[in-house]
């Protein structure tokens, strides 16, 4: 089946607490949760109790609440290849934790991506815990197409004024 990186969109995000992560992800998840989209959550920390508490305070319809709660919110990091339902046109994979954990999960996912059908659209959202990274932010941003924050999915340059990925910097010099 081969490599199909052109169908993969990578989004990065940064969070300062578990509550911040949840409040940032839920609007995005609620907007994209449907029968044609498979959302997989891979988290370094167990967030199940916090997500239940957070959801209980929102005015979401029962079906969306149930679908969000069915997602993996505990720290089971197993991500194995599986045949997707033919109705699934898009897959969103959310990974949250420190940089080392995210890098490891991305390597595992890259192996998986080479096995799924080319026509599937895949979005990977890497959510970095702010306390775990430092000067690597330019490197992290350069590896992603967009950024997700509490106001939604944005171009990186909208959030980090003047940002140019390394590949663009080399072209412009």
19-36 residue pLDDT tens: 999 999 999 998 898 878
φ, ψ dihedrals at 42, nearest 5° = -120, 115
pLDDT at 10 over 90: yes
- Between 57 and 76, residue with greater pLDDT: 57
Cα 63 to Cα 25, 30, 34, 150, 155: the distances in Å are: 17, 11, 10, 23, 31
Give the model's pLDDT for residue 35: 77
Give the model's pLDDT for residue 169: 41
CATH number of 5-172: 3.40.50
Give the model's pLDDT for residue 173: 39
Give the model's pLDDT for residue 40: 87
Among candidates 100, 98, 95, which has minimal Cα distance to 79? Answer: 95
Beta strand extents in the chain (DSSP E only): 8-15, 37-43, 90-97, 121-129, 146-149, 152-154
134 — pLDDT class (breaks 50, 70, 90): low
Give the model's pLDDT for residue 121: 86
pLDDT at 62 over 80: yes
What pTM value is reported for the model? 0.83
Give the model's pLDDT for residue 1: 40
């Amino acid at each position: 089946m081969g490599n199909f990186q052109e169908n993969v969109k990578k989004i990065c995000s940064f969070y300062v607490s578990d509550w911040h992560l949840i409040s940032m992800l839920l609007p995005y998840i609620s907007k994209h949760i449907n029968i044609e989209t498979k959302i997989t959550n891979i988290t370094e920390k167990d967030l199940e109790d916090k997500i239940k508490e957070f959801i209980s305070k929102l005015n979401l319809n029962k079906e969306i609440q149930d679908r969000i709660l069915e997602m993996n919110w505990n720290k089971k990091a197993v991500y194995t290849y599986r045949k997707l339902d033919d109705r699934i046109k898009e897959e969103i994979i959310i990974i949250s934790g420190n940089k080392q954990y995210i890098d490891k999960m991305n390597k595992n996912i890259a192996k998986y991506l080479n096995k799924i059908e080319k026509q599937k659209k895949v979005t990977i959202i890497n959510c970095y815990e702010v306390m775990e990274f430092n000067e690597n932010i330019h490197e992290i941003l350069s590896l992603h197409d967009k950024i997700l924050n509490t106001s939604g999915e944005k171009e990186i340059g909208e959030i980090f004024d003047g940002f140019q990925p390394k590949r663009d910097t080399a072209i412009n010099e």
